[in-house]
Amino acid sequence: SHKRPLKDGIDFGFVGDVERANGKMLQTLINEGITPVMAPLTHDGKGNILNTNADTIASETAKALAPYYDVTLIYSFEKKGVLSNPEDDDSVIPVITHADFERYKADGTVAGGMIPKLENALAAIDAGVKEVIITLATAIDGKHGTVIK
């Protein structure tokens, strides 16, 4: 990873941006029966620990594994999916495409932390990840929520 540079005069401190995930190493671990566990901490190769967005870590890991496996990336959080109305937990948007995302971002349907989550989800799809689902942790088995295409 590398330390995020200044942007518009904002110093992000020790926030890191992923350069790459080692898919071949992850494949080797998985093939040996070892389950890799990721944390949103990275390093810059110079001794500095960096805080990296967990959604980015998940997306980069899924992208690195996509050449070797059929990968489904599941983002689990406190809502049933991406909501069209944040005040209504049942207003789950069932499917979001690139075009939908741009429209929802422009009209304010998605905002704040949902924007990087969806950017990471769409980047994973573009890189060959089979499916991305955003849902409640308790709904993972049924794969309900918002599907990214």
Mean pLDDT computed over every residue of the chain:
93
Domains: count for the chain: 1
pTM for this prediction = 0.87
The predicted-structure confidence for 69-105, as pLDDT tens digits, reads as follows 999 999 999 999 999 999 999 999 999 999 999 999 9
Mean pLDDT of 115-138: 95
**What's the confidence (pLDDT) of residue 143?**
63
Half-sphere exposure of 145 (CA within 13 A, CB side): 26
Domain housing 109: 2-148
pLDDT above 90 covers what percent of the chain? 72
